[in-house]
Each structure stands twice: as structure tokens, then as C-alpha cells.
Amino acid sequence: MAMAMRIRNAASRRAMSPISGDFSLRSMSSWWKNVEPAPKDPILGVTEAFLADPSPDKVNVGVGAYRDDNGKPVVLECVREAERRIAGSSFMEYLPMGGSVKMVEETLKLAYGDNSEFIKDKRIAAVQSLSGTGACRLFADFHKRFRPDSQIYIPVPTWSNHHNIWRDAQVTQKTYHYYHPETKGLNFSGLMDDVKNAPEGSFFLLHACAHNPTGVDPTEEQWREISQLFKAKNHFAFFDMAYQGFASGDPAKDAKSIRIFLEDGHHIGISQSYAKNMGLYGQRVGCLSVLCEDEKQAVTVKSQLQQLARPMYSNPPLHGAQIVSTILGDPELKSLWLKEVKIMADRIIGMRTTLRESLEKLGSPLSWEHVTKQIGMFCYSGLTPEQVDRLTSEYHIYMTRNGRISMAGVTTGNVGYLANAIHEVTKSS
């Protein structure tokens, strides 16, 4: 009788125990049942659809990665040589939290100038980042931690991930006018009105060159007016420079907006990336820098940037930083890089001209002047979502539904087909 009672009590305890089979399975299965599928990334979703299409005529002009005139990925010769030089390295230790000192030093020269007084005076707090995305996110968290009551103004439109980054950093977002749909150019008056009407001391996200997705940049004179108004309003400019050298083929020219703000005495922040201009997409190598009042403040700000990086990823990756520092630290390799980045930029500029000429030869009733006026990897075509859908369903041409064409995907082999398809879906407009 006592034995039977003990068996029943043990069975009862097992049934009530949180580690018993039935209860445990029920509990564990309910942990994530409220999780719903995340929405597909609009850009990466284009690639998925393209890869699933069996058509031999398919064309992908959706993803922002450079391709040669055969539509193939490119590894720059300067990168190949840098890899050969570091191949024998047995150094596999962690980088410091701030990353490769050599890579950061060379990167700052590209943005601020080889002979920058700010570099000489050690007024720049800078850390290696996980490409441009990581630099933006690190700055967004820095912004939230030390200026929690301020907001950031983001252009309309912008790279979609900008909104994700500042949202997840819990920074209040506002927008400012940038693109003019009718002229397919810059809405300069709207931009200036928004800068003027923003509360004093606001943060603004600016694309340093080759605005993504529009390819529309202010002129030099417009940049000077923007800078002066920022100064009058005491706004903070954060530049995202993902395409330095890749836009015009000249890194110094592509950094002109930043140099203007520096000349006017602004303290700015900059995100830099080597994904596009060195083709190091998968290496995730970039830099975040913040110009400070003096060396002491720069040391303090850098310490806080490193503190923010520590729980995120602890230390940045080594290999990409080695490639960049090897290329930029060697005059011969740097010269080769400058030559190769100009070749990439010139090919894209050439494809813009060919696409526009092809559309005009087809007798398109529309103006395509904006195709050659815009600059950089992307062309904001003006195509409607419905027209983009027709391009995909009828011609197997893939791009984002906002009409953004990645000019890197346009080649001499497909530009005629692309132009004809665009003409067919727009000629009744």
C-alpha cells in the first residue's frame, strides 16, 4: 500500500514538473508562436525572383553590385595583388575594438584630404565599422545615447535601410524634401525650406555623392548654400558616403560636399564603405568618423564609439581591413585602384548615355535627359510600379518597384533589349 502511494505521488510530481515531457513540449512550443514572418527586403526579393525565373532573356537591374560588360562580378586587380601580399600573414588575432589603425588612417585621408589639418591635429574620432551599414548604425546609437532628445531628418527618398537603422536605434525620424518627381531632379527649394524650418540643432542625413536611389546630387553651388544654412541653424550633418570614387571616377571630386562643410567650419560625421569602390561587398569593411572640437574630445568620443561597438560585435573583421590598408598604403597599388575605380565609373556613365540614346532612337515621346544627368550606380527612371510589373511579367526584367535601375546591371549586350522594353511599357504614357 505504501509502495503504491509513493508511485502515485511520483507520477503526480512528474506531471506537474516543468521538465516533464508533455508540459515541457507545450511550454516550448508556445515561446515563439506569436512571431510572424518578416516582410521581404524589397531589394533582395528582386534577386530571389530573378534567380527563380528560367527565361534566357532575363535581366537583373535591381541589385547594387557592380558587374562588368559581360554581367559578371569583378575582383579588382589591386585587390588580387593585396591578397597575394597578405596571403603569407599568420596574424589571426583580434583587432582592437576600434579596428585597424592603419586602415582608419588611410580612410580618413580619402574623406578629409591627404593634408587635412583635422587629421594632423587629431581632432577626428574614428573607428573601423562593418561597412557603411555598420557605421550608420553605430552613429545612430551614439546619437541616441548622447543626444536623446534630438531627431534626425532623412531625405525622401533614401536607401530603405536608413529608416531601419535609425528606427532600431530608437532615434526619432523626420523627413525632408529631396527628389522632384516631375523634373526627376533635385527639389532644392523644398530641401532648403525643410532645413530652414527644422528646429535649431537638428541632425540631417546627407548622401555625400551618388544619392541612392535617385542618382541626383546638388551642384557645388547648391552644396555651398546648404552648408551656409546648416551653419545658420546650427544643424549637424551626417554624411553617408558609400560611393566615393564610384560616382565620377574621382574620389576627391566625390568628396566635394564634405570638403565644403569642412571649409565652413562644421563638425560633421561620416560613414565610409569599401563595398562599391573596391568591390569588397562581402568583407564588410568601412569607417565611422566624427570631427570634434579638439584632440581631447576626439579621444573621449572614440572611447564611447568603441564602448557601443563592444556589445554589438566586439571587434571588426581583419581581412578586409588588411586589403584596404595594403592598397591605400602603397603608392603603386593606390594608383592602380584609382585607375580601376575610374574604369568602373566610366562604364556606368557610358551605359547611361547608351540607354538614353537607345530610347530616343526608338522614338520615345518622353524625355530621358535625367538618365544622363543623374550619377552613380542608380538611375531613378520615373517608371511607375505598374510599368515595372509589366517589365517583369512581359520582358523578364527585374528591378525594384520604385523604378530604380542599377546601371551596373546594364551591358552592351542587354541595353537594347532593356530600352525596347522600357519604350513598350511607357509609350502610352
* Domain end marker among 298, 329, 360: 329
Contact 376, 356 (CB under 8 A): no
Contact 124, 287 (CB under 8 A): no
Residue 296 has pLDDT above 70, yes or no: yes
Mean pLDDT of the chain: 93
The answer to whether residue 196 sits within a structural domain is yes
Rg (C-alpha) for the chain, rounded Å, is 26
395: CATH: 3.90.1150.10
Q: Which residue has the higher pLDDT, 173 or 43?
A: 173
Among residues 223, 254, 276, 337, the one annotated as catalytic is 276
Annotated catalytic, 250?
A: no
- Summarize pLDDT for 306-316 with one digit per residue, the tens: 999 999 999 99
In this prediction, residue 247 carries a pLDDT of: 95
The answer to whether residue 15 sits within a structural domain is no
The answer to whether residue 213 sits within a structural domain is yes
- Summarize pLDDT for 48-85 with one digit per residue, the tens: 999 999 999 999 999 889 999 999 999 999 999 999 99
321: CATH: 3.40.640.10
- Summarize pLDDT for 128-177 with one digit per residue, the tens: 999 999 999 999 999 999 999 999 999 999 999 999 999 999 999 999 99
Q: Which residue segment(s) compose the domain that 58 sits in? A: 43-75+344-427
The answer to whether residue 236 sits within a structural domain is yes
Mean pLDDT of 294-300: 98
Among residues 141, 217, 240, 254, the one annotated as catalytic is 240
The answer to whether residue 25 sits within a structural domain is no
Same domain, yes or no: 305 and 212: yes
DSSP at 62: -
Q: What is the reported pTM?
A: 0.91
Annotated catalytic, 159?
A: yes
Paired strand residues for 235 = none
Among residues 141, 159, 223, 254, the one annotated as catalytic is 159
The answer to whether residue 37 sits within a structural domain is no
The answer to whether residue 35 sits within a structural domain is no
Annotated catalytic, 276?
A: yes
Same domain, yes or no: 60 and 133: no
Same domain, yes or no: 310 and 355: no
* Domain end marker among 270, 294, 329: 329
Bridge-based pairing of strands 378-380 and 404-406 is antiparallel
Paired strand residues for 172 = 151
In this prediction, residue 2 carries a pLDDT of: 52
The answer to whether residue 243 sits within a structural domain is yes
* Domain end marker among 268, 295, 329: 329
Into how many domains does the chain fold? Answer: 2
Same domain, yes or no: 289 and 407: no
Sorting pLDDT into bands at 50, 70 and 90, what band is 89? confident
